[in-house]
């Protein structure tokens, strides 16, 4: 019989593997269309991915198992409290996605994306305040180790060296935007945990996707003054957009499910470590990216951090 921590850890690992796969498929479609079209397309495909599970549950199909229980659920009632929490999460995710896109648009990736490494540390404070989730000494050490490994994964620039991302806070608006994104994405897991407890993980996943789809589709319709351009982009890679949606749904459902068993900061730490390692390997094997040894060294450091989290569990 697995302990609650072991169940939560395995769900978090499954979620992280789905997030890593989502990054690979999203990067693939991103080579054929704009970033806003990718987000809009993936979110729109959430509905056909989720609908069969909800329909089966409504017809009485109720399988047993920790993962299946997260997927096959009936349409829940939505209280005013849930609608408020969901609206808050949707608005914050819209802001984070727009800031993310703006950050990578105006500043180099190497001076922006490292700030996402701080989400496990940032998420520990709101989780402590709202849920009283206090990591152990080993857990804190593991979280910090993973964050440092992820942050220094990027070699920096020739002028600024390894501390270039930190120095860029004073010179690059994109770096500041990405730090704000990291802050937002450290608060939304706490909101999403509370919201999913009011309904179900898969239903909350659908609500978030619907809100983001409305926002980004609306943005493109206004920007393009019509539907033709967005439609042409989304229909270029329908299979890969659908695959991205499958991984995104699995990632979010398993992530929300893991919150019931282990601390949010631990889940974010596992996501960061596995996500970066998966991204390194995928970048090397599928996208011809370089610096494999350096990136694997950083991934090894993060693996040590995850081991510390396990000891703290």
Residue 49: pLDDT band by 50, 70, 90 thresholds? very high
Structure token pair of residue 299:
């991934």
DSSP 66-105: HHHHHHS-PPPP--HHHHHHHHHHHHHHHHHHHHHHHHHH
User: Which pLDDT value is given to residue 32?
Assistant: 86
Q: What is the pLDDT of residue 51?
A: 93
The percent of residues above 70 in pLDDT, for the chain, comes to 86
- Indicate whether 158 pLDDT > 60: no
Q: What is the pLDDT of residue 184?
A: 95
Q: How confident is the model at residue 119 (pLDDT cuts 50, 70, 90)?
A: confident
The predicted pLDDT at position 159 comes to 59
What is the average per-residue pLDDT within 83-94? 95
More confident residue, 153 or 234: 234
Residue 200's domain spans which residues? 4-312
Three-class SS string for 166-201?
HHHHHCCHHHHHHHHHHHHHHHHHHHHHHHHHHCCH
Contact between 309 and 6 (Cβ < 8 Å):
no
Q: Does the pLDDT of residue 290 top 70, yes or no?
A: no
Q: Is the dihedral of CA 188, 194, 195, 200 positive or negative?
A: positive
Question: Is the model's pLDDT at 216 over the cut of 70?
Answer: yes
pLDDT attached to residue 157? 52
pTM higher than 0.95, yes or no?
Answer: no
Total domains in the chain come to 1
Q: What's the mean per-residue pLDDT of the chain?
A: 84
Least confident residue range of 35-44, 177-186, 280-289: 280-289
| Res 192 pLDDT > 90 | yes
Tell me what the mean pLDDT of segment 89-94 comes to.
95
- Note the pLDDT of residue 12: 92
Q: How confident is the model at residue 171 (pLDDT cuts 50, 70, 90)?
A: confident
Residue 160's pLDDT band (boundaries 50, 70, 90)?
A: low
Rounded-to-integer distance, Cα 182 and Cα 20, Å: 18
CA dist 193 to 79, 86, 126, 244, 262, Å? 15, 10, 12, 23, 12
Q: How many CB atoms lie within 10 A of CB 63?
A: 11
Query: Bigger pLDDT: 134 or 197?
Result: 197
Share of the chain above pLDDT 90, in %: 38
HSE-CB of 18 using CA atoms within 13 angstroms = 19
């Amino acid at each position: 019989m697995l302990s609650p921590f072991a169940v939560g850890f395995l769900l978090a690992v499954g979620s992280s593997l789905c997030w890593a796969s989502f990054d690979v498929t999203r990067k693939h479609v991103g080579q054929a269309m704009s970033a806003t079209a990718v987000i809009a397309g993936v979110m729109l495909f959430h509905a056909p991915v989720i609908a069969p599970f909800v329909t089966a549950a409504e017809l009485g199909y109720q399988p047993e198992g920790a993962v299946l229980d997260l997927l096959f659920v009936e349409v829940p009632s939505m209280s005013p409290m849930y609608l408020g929490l969901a609206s808050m999460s949707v608005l914050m995710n819209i802001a984070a996605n727009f800031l993310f896109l703006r950050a990578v648009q105006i500043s180099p990736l190497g001076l922006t994306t490292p700030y996402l490494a701080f989400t496990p540390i940032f998420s520990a404070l709101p989780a402590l305040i709202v849920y009283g989730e206090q990591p152990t000494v080993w857990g804190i050490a593991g979280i910090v180790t993973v964050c440092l490994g992820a942050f220094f994964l990027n070699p920096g620039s020739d002028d600024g060296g390894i501390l270039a991302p930190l120095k860029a806070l004073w010179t690059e608006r994109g770096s500041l935007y990405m730090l704000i994104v990291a802050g937002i994405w450290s608060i939304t897991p706490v909101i999403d945990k509370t919201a999913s407890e009011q309904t179900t993980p898969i239903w909350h996943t659908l609500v978030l996707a619907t809100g983001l789809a409305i926002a980004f589709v609306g943005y493109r319709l206004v920007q393009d003054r019509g539907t033709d351009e967005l439609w042409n982009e989304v229909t270029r890679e329908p299979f890969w957009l659908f695959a991205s949606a499958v991984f995104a749904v699995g990632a979010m459902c398993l992530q929300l499910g893991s919150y019931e068993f282990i601390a949010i900061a631990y889940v974010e730490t596992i996501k960061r470590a596995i996500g970066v390692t998966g991204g390194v390997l995928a970048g090397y094997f599928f996208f011809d990216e370089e610096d494999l040894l350096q990136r694997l060294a950083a991934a090894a450091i993060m693996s040590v951090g995850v081991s510390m989290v396990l000891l703290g569990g």
